Structure 1
């Protein structure tokens, strides 16, 4: 009897095992998990991830002396002109992991697909923007092999010189912008322009204009040729066409998120920036700044004691640690350093504030400089200049209605601060500094290219350099990809804040 029971049990187990094996594939297949993704959604991911990182507050925006923190530790950066590799890797990690990983994969997947030609060229443009930010930040970077770990299993990419990178960026932007076809497939899932191919064209040519102007001091002849190509192609000249990333409660503005959380009371407008706007009676100061009258702590920075009056805004002097900021506030008659002016985190630096990649105001100023140099023949320098100022003032109101500036205010400002041909390059690029507010990478790059605005060195006694010229490579690269990093350093110069990138002359 026991043998019969054992036999029946064994047969039953065997039958179940055979049954499980027969249905193994079906039982172990996730029927709700995506096995492939529309490359348009990958491009959207890359586009969203192009927003400027929180690290730009600590470095790029501070380097150009617009916003600074007196704190040390994690906040160490442009406040002291010191290296902080816990932050200098922000652009690297954000762009390689979230932008270029996706764009490289999309390009590899659809480059030979005739039905997705427009998407292919749109992706090339977003990728070019990311690589331009990266090479302008660090100099030599993995470019041709960069971001190919996921798609091509290249885990230790070689570094390419900035000269070689810019040559290819110009090629990519020229080809992609020209090849975009309004008669082709419209990628309606696109979150940047809703598939509007003509706006993508103007975005691509705008980046080409930016790339051309970046070479103004290192290769004027090439710069002129590239700028002419971009101007003839058609760049962004209205705020309606700005390359702008919208944010919402699910996809918040990184800088806004930082300034509305733990660092809300740790960053302040500099006295350099505030005084420049005050001295010219610039209406943009009231659109940008807020001071919390009488605040003696972060919790006292409340809407009830907020003032936007431009005449009472006091910027934090450069070169102060926390102790120095307390002393400076006392000497200036403030209740505490918490009363220094800040970028208003409920308007321009809110959680849902837009992030501007390229704007009409920036383009007008680049065209003004190109016209002044004689590189283009259309338009007048002063006309471009005035249009740029008006465009930026109008742009502020698109971020938040409470930051709107009237036409009358813009007219009064230009009348009181007219364009002067003798100071054309200085005026144009100082306005570029203002127009690029909160776009740290672009303000930092144009400041190095032109030397404007004319800023005094950070006076902090423990500074490592007078001016920061580039950010340092991530520790992860130095430890993992050491051979290629070493080769880049040998060709470019020491991996420190003083070494200049190729085009910085």
Structure 2
């Protein structure tokens, strides 16, 4: 028995001697070096993913279709639909209206907040950190414009902080923080430090740009976005709007179409890489080739035709004849259906009905809807038109309202060539248009914001937001039987009903502060 004890002691002695060392390095020894984790991750990948998801490239939902097209494009009367698109007739479909909220948080917000968090204290990644802050504002900006009060300061922290019930921040607080973030991030960019490679899908496409160019471009983007945010405040706090708009101008804005922020898509990667709007309207879902599903609205068509707009020849085509001739184009009125000749809202009862839905114009897929075409995020044309309004208000933004207006219209027309080289409008045609439709200060707000509406074609989120802020263009609402708004164009989309179950306290606090979760409840900056 004693011999057995001695043997056990001898066998255990090495382990006892090694125990302190094993305990000291326990975490390192028991970590699988071959397993990927946050420390071994590549933040630039998440940055790229956030940008791509922002353009709608999620394979799990169709938020671009549901909110941008089904709702916003129809409400803003640039497209029209006679079947099931709820936005054409202000019908309520909670799943569609809530879809952007449901997809933005697990996709865009998760990726961009992760990048900001992991790069914050890394000097080597200082530029990626500050560029991501700018992108984060761009992402949250659209989300809060759609829904109002949203999770912001605590958003995207489910993994890092185990916070699965984030508070809803007041939109006013969100806007003030976003403006601060843009200013700080723009000032902190440094061309002497490392920059993202080709993961920067906006300004380093293909990894060919130098650091000075990239920093200058992102700084202009930050201040152009700041100008957009500042103008959102005009109904609620014009003094603050003026301060931030002038700060944006002083910081340096887009100066030509070469500065435009856009992402070029890849037609070979399916839903996760193609231009999502194009894929819905002319690609996989092919909405424009389903008669009456996505026709050009009579409102938009009348604007183009009545003003002899040189963009029309590239924007529209008649499916029945494949004609691109401006005189042949016909817009379809909003608010009609195909419920049969006994229905007063059947499209056959519409004035000027051509007898065939295929005779109503659709968007020209060869110009605007290429699967490898660009998604424009913020443009020089939009920036100049916002400056035109700022100048009309008497703010110090360089030139007068007429000059900025002319610059904006000219840039919007020239921008078509960035969709396709075949859509180049000549300087002579643009000047002829401006001569025939000169800026008139007495009608300035209408002219400026109606041109903004036209310049934001395909980005119907932005068209809708600026219309709510400015009231222009002066659209005539439809009052379809059974609509959810009393015949008024909706002012916001709907929170998901799942939030009431999963985050009830914070959800209810937002409802109490902002108002009923309804299509007619205005967001903070939209309240009179």
**What's the TM-score once normalised by structure 1's chain length?**
0.88
Tell me the residue number matched to 2:95: 86
Contact kept in structure 1, 2:381 and 2:409, CA below 8 Å: yes
Measured on the aligned residues, the alpha-carbon RMSD in Å equals 1.9
Contact kept in structure 2, 1:287 and 1:405, CA below 8 Å: no
Q: CA deviation at 1:32?
A: 8.7
Higher mean C-alpha deviation, range 195-204 or range 376-385: 376-385
In the aligned structure 2, how far is the partner of 1:81 from the partner of 1:471? Answer: 11
Corresponding residue to 2:160 among 136, 151, 155: 151
Q: CA deviation at 1:476?
A: 2.5
Tell me the residue number matched to 1:42: 46
Tell me the residue number matched to 1:9: none
Tell me the residue number matched to 1:65: 77
Tell me the residue number matched to 2:240: 222
Contact kept in structure 2, 1:117 and 1:184, CA below 8 Å: yes
Q: CA deviation at 1:30?
A: 9.3
Tell me the residue number matched to 1:481: 503
Tell me the residue number matched to 1:206: 224
Tell me the residue number matched to 2:392: 372
Q: CA deviation at 1:313?
A: 1.1
In the aligned structure 1, how far is the partner of 2:114 from the partner of 2:195? Answer: 20
Q: Structure 1: state its 5+ residue gaps.
A: 1-24, 294-304
Q: Structure 2: state its 5+ residue gaps.
A: 1-27, 57-63, 205-210, 340-344
Alignment of 1:64-463 (within 5 A): 64-72=76-84, 75=85, 77-189=86-198, 190-194=200-204, 196-249=214-267, 250=269, 251-260=273-282, 261-262=284-285, 263-264=287-288, 265=290, 266-293=293-320, 305-323=321-339, 324=345, 326-328=347-349, 332-463=352-483
**What's the TM-score once normalised by structure 2's chain length?**
0.85
The SS at the match of 2:475 is coil
Q: CA deviation at 1:325?
A: 5.1
Tell me the residue number matched to 1:7: none
In the aligned structure 2, how far is the partner of 1:30 from the partner of 1:309? Answer: 64
The SS at the match of 1:307 is coil
Corresponding residue to 2:55 among 51, 54, 65: 51
Contact kept in structure 2, 1:111 and 1:120, CA below 8 Å: yes
Change (3 A) 1:391 1:377: closer
Q: CA deviation at 1:115?
A: 1.0
1:150-186 deviations in Å (ceiling 9; x for gaps): 2222111111111111111111111111111122222
Contact kept in structure 2, 1:316 and 1:325, CA below 8 Å: no
Q: CA deviation at 1:138?
A: 0.4
Tell me the residue number matched to 2:16: none
In the aligned structure 1, how far is the partner of 2:165 from the partner of 2:37? Answer: 29
1:111-139 deviations in Å (ceiling 9; x for gaps): 11111111101001111011110111001
Change (3 A) 1:150 1:32: closer
Q: CA deviation at 1:376?
A: 1.4
Contact kept in structure 2, 1:49 and 1:94, CA below 8 Å: no
In the aligned structure 1, how far is the partner of 2:356 from the partner of 2:453? Answer: 29
In the aligned structure 1, how far is the partner of 2:346 from the partner of 2:189? Answer: 52
Q: CA deviation at 1:244?
A: 0.3
Q: CA deviation at 1:31?
A: 5.2
Change (3 A) 1:38 1:84: same
The SS at the match of 1:357 is strand
Does residue 493 (structure 1) correspond to residue 502 (structure 2)? The answer is no
Q: CA deviation at 1:346?
A: 2.9
Contact kept in structure 2, 1:104 and 1:151, CA below 8 Å: no
The SS at the match of 1:356 is strand
